[in-house]
C-alpha cells in the first residue's frame, strides 16, 4: 500500500482515500447492479427453458430482459427493472384462470376477463357473441386506423374462437434471482471500492 514519509503525507493520502470512496461509489453501485441483473437473467433462463424466450406471449413470443439506472454520486442508488413487466409478473406470481379470445385488443381482452370473473365463470356471458361483436367493431372498414384481426386461435392442430386458460403457478423467478445475486453484488461493490483505495495507497 506504499509507505508515507511523514504525517503530512499520510494525512494527504487519507484525504485522497476519503475522496476515492466517494468518487468510486457510483461505479461500485453500478457493479453491484450488474451482478443483480446477471443473476435474475440466469434464474429466468432456468425457469424459461434456457433461452429467456416465452413463446406463448404475444403473436411472436417475447424475450425476458432486465436493465438498471444509476442515480446520484455520493449517495448513488440503482434501480433494477424487469423488461417487459407483464411476462415477468407472470413468472413471479403466476396467472389466474382467464379467457383468451381471438381477435381482441389487449384492452378488450382485459375487459372480457373482468366481466367473466364478475360473472363467476359460470357461463353467464356468451363469450363467443361478445368476441364477435368486439372483432366487428375492431375490423370496421370505415376507419383507416382499424386492421383485420384473426377470428380463431390455433391450439395444437385445432382452431378455436376462444379458450379458457387454466392459469399458471408463479415461480418467484425475480425474487430468487435477486436473493441469489446478493452475495455477488456485495462482493462487487466492495471490490470496486477497494480498487479505488489501492490507487491512492500504492
Task: State residue 38's pLDDT score.
Answer: 98
Task: State residue 60's pLDDT score.
Answer: 73
> What pLDDT digit, counting tens, does each position of 44-98 carry?
999 988 889 887 776 677 899 999 999 988 789 999 999 999 899 989 999 877 6
> What pLDDT digit, counting tens, does each position of 123-137 carry?
555 666 666 665 565
What is the spatial distance between Cα 96 and Cα 167, in angstroms, rounded to a whole number? Answer: 5
> What pLDDT digit, counting tens, does each position of 5-35 carry?
555 555 555 555 555 555 578 889 999 999 9
Q: How confident is the model at residue 1 (pLDDT cuts 50, 70, 90)?
A: very low
More confident residue, 3 or 95: 95
Average pLDDT, the chain: 75
> What pLDDT digit, counting tens, does each position of 108-124 carry?
666 666 666 566 555 55
Amino acid at each position: 500500500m506504499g509507505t508515507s514519509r511523514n504525517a503530512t503525507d499520510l494525512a494527504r493520502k487519507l484525504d485522497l482515500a476519503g475522496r476515492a470512496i466517494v468518487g468510486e461509489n457510483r461505479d461500485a453501485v453500478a457493479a453491484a447492479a450488474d451482478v443483480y441483473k446477471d443473476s435474475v437473467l440466469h434464474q429466468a433462463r432456468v425457469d424459461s427453458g434456457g433461452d429467456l424466450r416465452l413463446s406463448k406471449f404475444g403473436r411472436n413470443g417475447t424475450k425476458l430482459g432486465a436493465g438498471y439506472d444509476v442515480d446520484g454520486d455520493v449517495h448513488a442508488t440503482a434501480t433494477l427493472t424487469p423488461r417487459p413487466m407483464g411476462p415477468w409478473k407472470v413468472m413471479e406470481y403466476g396467472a389466474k384462470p382467464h379467457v383468451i379470445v381471438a381477435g381482441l385488443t389487449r384492452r378488450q381482452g382485459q375487459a372480457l376477463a373482468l366481466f367473466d370473473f364478475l360473472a363467476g365463470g359460470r357461463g353467464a356471458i356468451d363469450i363467443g357473441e361478445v368476441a364477435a361483436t368486439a372483432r366487428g367493431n375492431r375490423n370496421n372498414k370505415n376507419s383507416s386506423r382499424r386492421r383485420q384481426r384473426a377470428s380463431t386461435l390455433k391450439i395444437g392442430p385445432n382452431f378455436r374462437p376462444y379458450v379458457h386458460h387454466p392459469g399458471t403457478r408463479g415461480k418467484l423467478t425475480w425474487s430468487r434471482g435477486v436473493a441469489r445475486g446478493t452475495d455477488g453484488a456485495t462482493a462487487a461493490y466492495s471490490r470496486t471500492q477497494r480498487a479505488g483505495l489501492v490507487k491512492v495507497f500504492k
